[in-house]
Chains A and B, each alone.
Chain A
Amino acid sequence: MLTRDEVKKIARLCRIELSPAEIEKFQKELSVILDYVSELKKVETSGVVEISQVTGLENVLREDAPRYSDLRQAIIANFPESREGFLKIRNIL
Chain B
Amino acid sequence: MDASFSEISELHEKLKNKEISSVELTEYFLQRIKKHNPQINAYLTVTEDAALEEAKEADKIIARRGKISVFTGIPFGIKDLFCTKGIRTTASSKILENYVPPFDATSVQKMRAENAIILGKTNLDEFAHGSSTETSAFGESKNPWDTSRIPGGSSGGSAAAVAAGLAPLALATETGGSIRQPSSLCGVSGWKPTYGRVSRYGVISMTSSNDSIGAIGRSVRDLALTAEVMSGRDEKDATTGNREVPQYSANLRTNLKGMKIGVPAEYFIDGMEDDVKKRVLDAIEELRKLGAEIIDVSLPLTKYGSLVYAIVTPSEISSNLSRFDGIRYGHQAKDARDLAEIYSKTRAQGFGDEAKRRIMTGTYALSAGYYEAYYLKAQKVRRLLVDEFNNVFEKVDCLVCASSPNVAPKIGAAKDNPLFGYIADQLNIPAAMAGLPALSVPCGFGAARDGADGGASSSVAGVQMPVGLQIIGPQWGEQKIFDAGHAYQTVTDWHKKMPPDFVPASPLPGKRK
Contact = CB atoms under 8 A, between A and B. Distances in A.
B126 to A, nearest CB: 14
Contacts of B195: 54-55
Given A50-B376, A75-B102, A92-B338, A15 B347 contact: yes
Given A36-B419, A89-B339, A60 B376 contact: no
A10 B360 contact: yes
Interface string B21-60: 0000000000000000000000000000000000000000
Interface in A8-63: 10-11, 13-18, 22, 26, 29-30, 32-34, 36-37, 39-41, 43, 45, 48-55, 57, 60, 62
Given A26-B360, A89-B339, A45 B384 contact: yes
Contact of B348 (A18, A71, A74): A18
B301 A43 contact: yes
A93 B338 CA distance: 7
B434 A39 contact: no
A16 to B, nearest CB: 5
A80 interface: yes
A6 B304 CA distance: 27
Interface string B321-335: 010011111101000
A83 B360 CA distance: 34
Nearest to A7: B360
A90 B336 contact: yes
A43 B329 contact: no
Q: Looking at B194, B332, B351, which has the most chain A CB atoms within 10 Å of its CB?
A: B332
A51 B383 contact: yes
A32 to B, nearest CB: 5
Contacts of A7: 360
Nearest to A70: B102
B103 A71 contact: yes
B219 to A, nearest CB: 27
B382 interface: yes
Contact of A40 (B325, B341, B381): B381
B364 A15 contact: no
B343 A87 contact: no
B418 interface: yes
Contact of A78 (B241, B322, B328, B377): B328
A90 B339 CA distance: 6
Contacts of A34: 361, 364
Question: Interface residue tally of chain B, by bracket?
Answer: 35 or more
Contact of B418 (A33, A43, A71, A75): A33
Given A16-B347, A55-B475, A90-B339, A37 B357 contact: no
Contacts of A11: 360
A90 B338 contact: yes
Given A14-B359, A40-B304, A90-B336, A50 B328 contact: no
B337 interface: yes
Interface stretch (B254-262, B305-313, B460-468, B497-505): B305-313
B434 A54 contact: yes
B360 A80 contact: no
A53 to B, nearest CB: 7
Contacts of A39: 304, 307
Contact of B325 (A13, A15, A32, A37): A15
Contact of A57 (B196, B311, B345, B381): B196
A15 B367 contact: no
Contacts of B351: 16
A40 B378 contact: yes
A3 to B, nearest CB: 12
B310 A55 contact: no
B470 interface: no
B239 A51 contact: no
Listed residue (A18, A50, A57, A75) with the most chain B CB atoms within 10 angstroms of its CB: A50
B435 A54 contact: yes
A32 B328 CA distance: 35
Interface in A60-93: 60, 62, 71, 74-75, 77-81, 87, 89-93
B311 A10 contact: no
Contact of B380 (A6, A37, A45, A87): A45
Given A11-B360, A26-B357, A33 B310 contact: yes
Contacts of B386: 51, 54
Contacts of B367: 10, 13
Contacts of B310: 33, 36-37
The list of the 8 closest CB pairs from A to B, nearest first, reads: A74-B102, A54-B435, A50-B379, A78-B329, A51-B383, A60-B238, A17-B348, A17-B344
Given A16-B344, A18-B348, A78-B328, 8 more contacts: A14-B359, A29-B418, A33-B314, A50-B380, A55-B196, A55-B475, A90-B339, A91-B338
13 contacts: A6-B364, A14-B363, A15-B325, A16-B347, A17-B344, A32-B418, A33-B419, A36-B310, A54-B475, A62-B238, A74-B103, A80-B330, A90-B337
Interface of A: 6-7, 10-11, 13-18, 22, 26, 29-30, 32-34, 36-37, 39-41, 43, 45, 48-55, 57, 60, 62, 71, 74-75, 77-81, 87, 89-93
